[in-house]
Structure 1
Amino acid sequence: MIAPFISPILVAVLFVLGCLHLLWAFGSNFPCANEQALARAVVGRRGITKMPSAFSCVMVALCLFAAAVLAAWLGGYFSLPLPSVIQKGVLVLAGLAAGTVFLGRGIIGVLPAFERSSPESPFLTLNRRVYSPLSFLIGLGFILLVLSLPNWSWRLGIA
Structure 2
Amino acid sequence: MPDFISLSLTAIFLFLGCIHLYWVFGGNWGSDSVVPQLELEGRPAFIPGVGITFLLVLIFWSMAALILAFSGFFQTPIERKIYRWSIAAISAIFFLRAFGDLRYVGFFKKVRGTKFSYWDTRVYSPLCLLIGILTSYLAITQ
Question: 4+ residue runs of structure 1 moved beyond 6 angstroms?
Answer: none
Matching of residues 103-118 of structure 1 within 5 Å: 103-108=95-100, 109-112=106-109, 115-116=110-111
Report deviation, 1:74: 2.2
Which residue identity is paired with 2:96? Answer: G
CA distance in 1, matches of 2:6, 2:45: 37
Alignment root-mean-square deviation, CA? 1.8
RCO (CA 8 Å, sep 6+): is it higher in 1 or 2? Answer: 1
Partner of 2:137: 144
Which residue identity is paired with 1:8? Answer: L
Q: Find out whether 1:43 has 2:35 as its counterpart.
A: yes
More helix by share: 1
Alignment check: 8 A CA contact 1:44 1:120 kept:
no
- Given the two structures, how large is their TM-score scaled by the length of structure 1? 0.77
Deviation readout 1:8-61 (Å, 9 max, x if unpaired): 00000110000000110111012x4xxxxx23x000221229842111110111
Alignment check: 8 A CA contact 1:103 1:139 kept:
yes
- Given the two structures, how large is their TM-score scaled by the length of structure 2? 0.85
Q: Report how many residues are paired.
A: 133
Please list every run of 5 or more consecutive structure 2 residues that lacks an aligned counterpart in the other structure. 101-105
Q: Find out whether 1:130 has 2:126 as its counterpart.
A: no
Please list every run of 5 or more consecutive structure 1 residues that lacks an aligned counterpart in the other structure. 33-37, 150-159
Matching of residues 13-28 of structure 1 within 5 Å: 13-28=12-27
CA distance in 1, matches of 2:87, 2:45: 36
Task: Rate the CA distance shift 1:11–1:142 in 2: closer, same or farther, 3 A.
Answer: same
CA distance in 2, matches of 1:56, 1:122: 22
Aligned-residue sequence identity (percent) comes to 29
